[in-house]
Chain A
Amino acid sequence: MENVFEIRDLSSWFGENQVLKKIRMDIAKNSVTSVMGPSGCGKSTFIRCLNRMHDMTPGFRMEGEILLDGTNIYSEKVDPVYLRRRVGMVFQQPNPFPRMSVFENVAVGLKLNGRKLSRADISEKVERSLVMAALWNEVKDHLTQSGVSLSGGQQQRLCIARALAVEPEVLLMDEPCSALDPASTSKIEDLIEDLSEKYTIAVVTHNMQQAARISDQVAFFLMGELIEMDKSGKIFTNPSDKRTEEYITGRFG
C-alpha cells in the first residue's frame, strides 16, 4: 500500500523536556490509523507535528523528518499554510467559530484561503461537506443559525465538515469524541469509517474499544516512544510487546 506519511526518527522537545523519542511510522493512504496510549505520552504532540501546529509554540524543537508524499514538510520549500490545506485537523473540544452561522463556519475556509469561488460553488461545497459529515439533514433548515448553538456532537460534526470543505487529503483528529456523549461518539465513529474510503485519517484516542472499532492500524505510545504498531486485529489479540499487553489488559494507564 502507498504511504501518505513517512515519519523518520521524529524527536521533539518543549524546552528541555523531550516529549517524542525517535518515532518511526508509516501512514498508509485511505486508512485509519489510531494513536493510543496513556495521558501525557505525547499523542497530541505527535499528531500536531503532522500539520505543523507547533510552529508558533515557543520553546518547541524537533529533529527527524516527516515526509508527505516524499517531501519533508519541515523543509524550507514547504509553506505551512499550504500544508494545512492538504492536512486538515479536528480538535478535542468542538470549536466552531463563535459569531458565525453554520453555513459560514463551513464556508470560511473556502473563502479565506485564496481561491476565487463563486457563491454557487461555495454553497455547493458547503452542502457537500455537511452531507459528508452526516450533518446536512439536521442543519439544512438552520444554516443561518449560530454554529455554537448546535449540540456538542453536532458541533464536532460541523468542525469535521469545516475541515472537509477545504478538500484536504489527510484528516488528523485529536480525541474527537472525548467531549461527547456515547450516541454522538458512535455517530462520529461511523463517520470516520465512511470517510476512510476517500481520506487518510489519523485519530488520537485513549479509548481502546474505539481504536479497535475504527482503525486499520493502531500505534501504541508510551512516554514519548512508539512501542508497537500493527493491524488493529493483531495488537488487541496478540501484541508483541509486553508493555502493550499490560496496557490493553488494563494493568496501567
Chain B
Amino acid sequence: MPGTISFRRKAVDRTMKALFCLAAILVILPLFLIFFDLLIKGGKELKLTLLIDLPHPVGEPGGGIANGIVGTLVITLMTMLWSVPTAVMCGIYLAEYGKGKFASAVRFAADTMTGVPSIIMGIFGYILLVLPMKRFSAWAGATALSMIFIPVVVRTTEEMLRTVPTTVREAALALGIARWKATLRITVRTAWPGILTGILLAMARIIGETAPLLFTALGNQFWQSHLDQPMAAVPLQVFTYAISPYEDWHDKAWAGALVLIAMVLVINIAARVITRQKR
C-alpha cells in the first residue's frame, strides 16, 4: 500500500536526520569541552599579571607570559610580512596564468606541503637557518611558519580567484585595461574578501603551531627585541610549562593555552565578519 511506504520513508528520513545532527554535535563537542576545561583549570591564573609580567622562576609565585604573547605576535607578523605577498602572488599566477606543467607542479607541491607534518618544517628551519647562523632565532621561527602558511594561502587564493566569473575579466579587458592591472585591481579585488578570510584562517593556524618553533625560535625567559636571537612564543611556553613537574607551572600552561585559544578565536571571528560583509 502506498500509505505504508510513505510512513516508512518518513521514519527513515527522521532517523537519518537525527544521525546527521548527532554527528554535528560530536564535531562541536570537543571544542566546548576543551574550552570549559581550559576555563576551569586556567581560569585561576588568568590575571592581568599573566598578560604583562615576565615568567618567574619555579617556586616563585606570580609571573606571566607577556614576552611570549609579544613574541608570538612578532613572529606571526614577520611570517606574514613576506608570506602574504608571496602566497597571494603565487595564487594569482596559478589562477590567472597557470595552465602548463609548471603550474601543475606548483599546485602539487603546495598540496603536498599542506600535508607535511609541521615538525618537519621546524627541522627545515633548523637546517636552513639555525645551523648556518649558529643560533636559534625569530627569523628561523618565522621561516618555518612560512612553510606552513604559504601553501595554504596559495591554494585558497587560487580557489577564490576561480570563483570570479570570466565575464568580470572580459569586461575589464574590454575597457582597454592592461591585463596585469585588470587582474590586480578588478579580479583580485572581486575575490578579496575570500582571499583575506583565507589569510586570517592560515594566520590562526600558525599562531598555535608549536613543533616548527621548537628547533627554530626555541623560546626565551626574557624580553628579546633582536630578531636574530631566540624568542619566546606562547605555544612554546605552554609546552615547557605543561611538561614540567611543577604544579604551579601546570596552571600557567592552562592559562597560556586559554590565551592562545582566545587569540585564535578573535582571528576566526574577524574572518567570519569579513566573509559576511562579502554579500
Contacts and interface: CB of A to CB of B under 8 A. Distances in A.
Bind each other: yes
A13 interface: no
Contact of A109 (B165, B167, B176, B193): B176
Interface of A: 51, 53, 58, 81-86, 88-89, 91, 93, 95, 97-100, 108-109, 112-114, 159, 162-163, 166
Interface string B173-187: 111111101100110
B175 A113 contact: yes
Nearest to A88: B174
B44 interface: no
A93 B168 contact: no
Nearest to B166: A95
Contacts of B178: 81, 112-114
Given A97-B190, A99-B189, A99-B190, A109 B177 contact: yes
Contacts of B174: 51, 53, 84, 88-89, 91, 163
Contacts of A53: 170, 173-174
A205 B264 CA distance: 55
A112 B181 contact: yes
A150 B178 CA distance: 27
- Chain B interface size band reads 20 to 34
A51 B171 CA distance: 12
Nearest to B192: A99
A156 to B, nearest CB: 12
A99 B195 CA distance: 14
Contacts of B181: 112
28 contacts: A51-B174, A81-B177, A81-B178, A85-B175, A86-B176, A88-B174, A88-B175, A91-B170, A93-B167, A95-B165, A95-B167, A95-B168, A95-B171, A97-B168, A97-B171, A97-B190, A98-B168, A99-B193, A108-B175, A112-B172, A112-B175, A112-B182, A112-B186, A113-B176, A114-B178, A159-B171, A163-B175, A166-B176
Nearest to A105: B171
Given A97-B172, A163-B174, 16 more contacts: A81-B178, A81-B179, A82-B176, A83-B176, A84-B176, A88-B174, A88-B175, A91-B171, A93-B167, A95-B167, A95-B168, A99-B192, A108-B175, A112-B175, A112-B178, A162-B175
A40 to B, nearest CB: 19
Interface of B: 99, 165, 167-168, 170-179, 181-182, 185-186, 189-190, 192-193
A99 B99 CA distance: 27
B168 A91 contact: no
A162 B181 CA distance: 17
A45 to B, nearest CB: 14
Given A91-B167, A91-B170, A112-B181, A97 B176 contact: no
B176 A108 contact: no
Given A97-B190, A108-B186, A113 B177 contact: yes
B176 A81 contact: yes
Which residue among A82, A83, A99, A162 has the maximum number of chain B CB atoms within 10 Å of its CB? A99
A95 to B, nearest CB: 4
B238 to A, nearest CB: 40
B172 to A, nearest CB: 8
A83 B176 CA distance: 7
A100 to B, nearest CB: 8
Report, nearest first, the 5 A-B pairs whose CB atoms are least far apart.
A85-B176, A109-B175, A89-B174, A84-B176, A95-B167
B191 to A, nearest CB: 9
A112 B190 contact: no
Nearest to A96: B171
B165 A112 contact: no
Contacts of B182: 112
Nearest to A168: B176
A84 B173 contact: yes
